[in-house]
Structure 1
Amino acid sequence: MRVISSTTEALTPTCLALGNFDGVHRGHQRVIAPAVTQARALSQGVVVGDRFSNSPKIHATVVTFDPHPREFFSGNPQHLLTPLPEKQAFLAQFGIEQLVLLPFDRELAALSPQEFVAEILVKQLQTQSISVGSDFSFGRGRSGSATDLQAIAKSFGIDVHITPLCREAETRISSSAIREALATGQIQYANQLLGRPYSLQGTVTHGQKLGRQIGFPTANLQGEATKFLPKYGVYAVQVTSDVLPTAQWGILNIGCRPTVTTTALPTVEVHLLDYHQDLYGANLKVDLLHYLRPEQKFASLQALQNQIHQDGDRARTLLTTTSNQHERTHS
Structure 2
Amino acid sequence: MMLVYRLSYQEPMPPFDALQPRKVMAIGDFDGVHLGHREVIRRAVADAESLRAPAAVMTFDPHPREVLGIAKYAYSLTPLERKLELLEQLGVDIAYVVSFDEQLMRVTPEQFIERVLLPLGLDTAIVGFDFTFGHRGLGTPDSLAQLSKGAFAVEVIRPFEIEGSKVSSTAIREALERGDVAEAHKLLGRPYAVRGTVVHGDARGRTIGFPTANIEPEGLYVLPANGVYAIRAELDGERYDGVMNVGVKPTFASGGVPVPTLEAHLFEFNRDIYGAVLEVQLISRLRSERKFGSVQELVEQIRRDAEEAKAHLLSF
Deviation at 1:14, TM superposition (A): 2.3
Mapped to 1, the partners of 2:232 and 2:64 lie a distance apart of 34
Listed one character per residue, the Cα deviations across residues 95-142 of structure 1 (whole Å, up to 9, x for unaligned) are 1122212122333223222222222111x2111111100011111221
Q: Is the 8 A contact 1:241 1:283 kept in 2?
A: yes
2:303 is equivalent to residue 302 of structure 1: no
Q: Is the 8 A contact 1:12 1:125 kept in 2?
A: no
Listed one character per residue, the Cα deviations across residues 34-89 of structure 1 (whole Å, up to 9, x for unaligned) are 2212222222xxxxxxxxxxxxxx33211122222211121635210000111011
Corresponding residue for 2:218? 224
Q: What is the one-letter code of the residue matched to 1:292?
A: L
2:52 is equivalent to residue 60 of structure 1: no
Q: Which one of 129, 133, 139 corresponds to residue 138 of structure 1? A: 133
Task: Give the structure-1-normalised TM-score.
Answer: 0.87
Q: Which one of 263, 267, 280 corresponds to residue 261 of structure 2? A: 267
2:278 is equivalent to residue 284 of structure 1: yes
Corresponding residue for 2:79? 83
Deviation at 1:207, TM superposition (A): 0.8
Q: What is the one-letter code of the residue matched to 2:7?
A: S
Secondary structure of 1:39's counterpart equals helix
Deviation at 1:225, TM superposition (A): 4.1
Secondary structure of 1:141's counterpart equals helix
2:243 is equivalent to residue 251 of structure 1: yes
Corresponding residue for 1:4? 5
Mapped to 2, the partners of 1:109 and 1:306 lie a distance apart of 53
Task: Give the structure-2-normalised TM-score.
Answer: 0.91
Mapped to 2, the partners of 1:208 and 1:106 lie a distance apart of 42
Deviates more, 1:134-143 or 1:188-197: 134-143
Q: What is the one-letter code of the residue matched to 1:109?
A: M
**Where do 5+ consecutive residues of structure 1 fail to align?**
44-57, 323-331
Corresponding residue for 1:42? 51
Q: Is the 8 A contact 1:34 1:161 kept in 2?
A: no
Coordinate RMSD, CA, aligned: 1.9
Corresponding residue for 1:204? 198
Mapped to 2, the partners of 1:303 and 1:3 lie a distance apart of 51
Mapped to 1, the partners of 2:259 and 2:96 lie a distance apart of 33
Number of residue pairs aligned between Structure 1 and Structure 2 = 304
Listed one character per residue, the Cα deviations across residues 167-192 of structure 1 (whole Å, up to 9, x for unaligned) are 11132100000011111011111100
Corresponding residue for 2:68? 73
2:234 is equivalent to residue 240 of structure 1: yes
Corresponding residue for 1:116? 112
Deviation at 1:201, TM superposition (A): 0.6
Distance 1:265 1:98, change over 3 A: farther
Distance 1:261 1:3, change over 3 A: farther
Distance 1:100 1:12, change over 3 A: farther
Q: Is the 8 A contact 2:197 2:218 kept in 1?
A: no
Corresponding residue for 1:161? 155
Q: Is the 8 A contact 1:234 1:253 kept in 2?
A: yes
Deviates more, 1:220-229 or 1:230-239: 220-229
Secondary structure of 2:293's counterpart equals coil
Secondary structure of 1:176's counterpart equals helix
